[in-house]
Amino acid sequence: MKGWKLSAPFNLIEEEIEETTSAVNLAKVKMTKALISLSDVLRYNGTIDIDRIALGSSGIGIVSETEPNLFGLEKGKHVYVEPHRECNECYNCKIGEHSKCSDVHVAGEDFDGFLTDFTVADSSKLYILPESVSDLDALFIKHISLAISIVDKLKIQKGDYVAIIGANNFGNILAQLIIYYQAVPILLTLDDEEYKIAKDSGVYYVLDKDANWTKEVSNITSGRMAKNVVYIADSNIPATKAFSLASYNAKVAYTGISQKNSPIPFTQAVRKNLEILCISSDFSNTATSINLIANKAINLSCLKIDTTTYKEVPSTFKKLSDMLESEDKIRETVVNML
């Protein structure tokens, strides 16, 4: 196997990949598509320090080899490769509660990601994709799984107003999921293109950079403000905006697909007695995410996405890194691995 490994900041090298998975029920997958996200670019430019590793935060492929006893996972099956693995070393893992692992390992950070020609994974980490789920949709299963975690942990109910700070691809997906659960998202963005995409996606309340966000949220909620607020870490919006839109005793979730850090002054949060939650993706939501896509609950066709090829990966990372430096944002990019 071979893939694009990060040997040092700004230096990707195509080299052999040694598979270190120790699981018993293994299957080999020929990668067909991978996704480059902000986290990958932050690792590429050295903002997030990692060991020598292959990047690529999400991936899908075709089963090429499998153990004979893995019925249903035959050669040729179209699969999503779960990008999270339990550590198998923490207390929860050792007592069999793997879903509560306290040190979840992430593809492209703790083990080789999916910018490789093949990957080998435990069969439990491979999800067969229905024909109704497109390649593009499947690459955003991780985003949807995180959105489900937020809805669950905030205990969002029908009719609740939820302010979402940031309308990037993940913010858009979260807003659509909240609509699916019959709550009311209020999506806020500084980006004109994100504003238009959110509107095209069917989000009714979208506030742009010219709106008085506090006044508008007050008007929408009849003066109550938002019971739940979600702050997306890579939104490039000051975290204090989340606190100003929250009602007294509200819940504020700090989250995001990337691991971009944001300074957070907590004075206003303390004054309002806010409950702050840090929410990361839950790999137990993967099957639910696939079902939501299959049932057309979320429209991913409007998202901001670029495409590239496997051979163009180094130049693509250079372009994305330059874009991040100049514009403080990137376009998530689908890589055609074939």
For 242-293, what is each residue's pLDDT tens digit? 999 999 999 999 999 887 777 788 889 999 999 999 998 778 899 999 999 9
Residue with more model confidence, 316 or 238: 316
What's phi and psi for 57, nearest 5 deg?
-90, -20
What are the start-end ranges of the H helices in 184-312?
Answer: 192-200, 213-220, 240-245, 267-271, 286-294
pLDDT attached to residue 288 = 96
In this predicted model, what pLDDT tens digit does every residue of 112-160 receive, in sequence order?
Answer: 999 999 999 999 899 999 999 999 999 999 999 999 999 999 999 999 9
Q: What superfamily would CATH give domain 142-278? A: NAD(P)-binding Rossmann-like Domain (3.40.50.720)
Residue 306 to residue 303: CA distance in whole angstroms: 10
**Lowest-confidence pick of 22-26, 99-103, 104-108, 206-210:** 22-26
pTM of the predicted model as reported, rounded to 2 decimal places: 0.94
Q: Which residues have C-beta within 8 Å of that of residue 220, sequence separation ≥ 6?
A: 161, 184, 186, 205
The DSSP call for residue 100 is: G
Token digits of residue 244: 């100003």
CA–CA dist 312, 12 (Å, integer): 11
Write the CATH number of the domain with boundaries 2-140+303-336: 3.90.180.10
Question: Taking a C-beta distance cutoff of 8 angstroms, is the pair 133, 74 a contact?
Answer: no
Could you give the CA distance from residue 59 to residue 142 in angstroms, rounded to a whole number?
Answer: 10
> pLDDT digits over 67-111, tens only?
877 777 889 999 999 999 888 899 999 998 887 888 899 998 889
Residue 74: predicted pLDDT: 87
Residue 164, H or E segment: strand 161-165
User: Structural domain boundaries of the chain?
Assistant: 2-140+303-336, 142-278
- Residue 149: beta bridge partners? none
SS3 94: helix
Q: 165-201, pLDDT tens digit by residue?
A: 999 999 999 999 999 999 999 999 999 999 999 999 9
How much of the chain exceeds pLDDT 90, in percent? Answer: 74
pLDDT for 241 equals 92
pLDDT tens track for 213-236: 999 999 999 999 999 999 999 888
Tokens linked to 312: 């163009």
What token pair was written down for 272? Answer: 């309002």
Mean pLDDT in residue range 307-327: 96
**DSSP assignment letter at 285:** G
